[in-house]
């Protein structure tokens, strides 16, 4: 239960991150604001970052306790769609003709939350790669990375 409670304690921060990401949607290979936001968060968690992967992709690298060579990659997509948001909530898109309509803002938020938790606890042996992929919506961002 300690893990669940620790993650639940992050709810307000994660909600704020998702709202910010939702307000700043960027389409394939244009994820400059998004990749900057993600890189800044990862750095604030003490995670090594690599930028410019596949143009706007970001990879965070976190080594746990121990000396295992085991590794795992956790991935989230970052891009939005070229469509107008019609919602009227406070965190609606601020970019005309762009919208997070597929949940990529949520995917990126969940991966940031996992990164923060794992960086704080480091209760694992091996390496975790946090992969924030650009251009998932038909732009072959995974291949570019």
Please state the domain extents for the chain. Answer: 2-139
Residues 6 or more apart whose CB falls under 8 angstroms from that of 95 comprise 24, 25, 26
pLDDT in the model for residue 7: 80
Choose among 76, 93, 108: nearest CA to 25: 93
What is the side-by-side order of every strand in the sheet holding 57-63?
48-53, 57-63, 127-133, 71-77
pTM for this one?
A: 0.94
Poorest-confidence range of 3-12, 20-29, 31-40, 100-109? 3-12
pLDDT tens string 74-87: 999 999 999 999 99
CATH number assigned to the domain covering 2-139: 3.40.630.10
pLDDT single digits (tens) 51-69: 999 999 999 999 999 999 9
For the chain, report the end-to-end CA distance as a whole number of angstroms. 36
d(CA 95, CA 105): 14
């Amino acid at each position: 239960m300690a893990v669940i409670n620790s993650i639940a304690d992050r709810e307000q921060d994660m909600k704020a991150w998702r709202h910010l990401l939702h307000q700043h949607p960027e389409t394939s290979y244009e994820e400059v604001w998004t990749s900057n936001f993600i890189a800044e968060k990862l750095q604030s968690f003490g995670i090594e970052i690599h930028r410019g992967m596949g143009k706007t992709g970001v990879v965070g690298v976190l080594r746990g306790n121990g000396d295992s060579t085991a590794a795992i990659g956790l991935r989230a997509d970052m891009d939005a769609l070229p469509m107008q948001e019609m919602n009227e909530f406070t965190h609606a898109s601020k970019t005309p003709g762009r919208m997070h309509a597929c949940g990529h803002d949520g995917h990126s938020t969940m991966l940031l939350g996992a990164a923060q938790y794992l960086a704080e606890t480091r209760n694992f042996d091996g390496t975790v790669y946090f992969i924030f992929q650009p251009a998932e919506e038909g732009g072959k961002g995974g291949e570019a990375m």
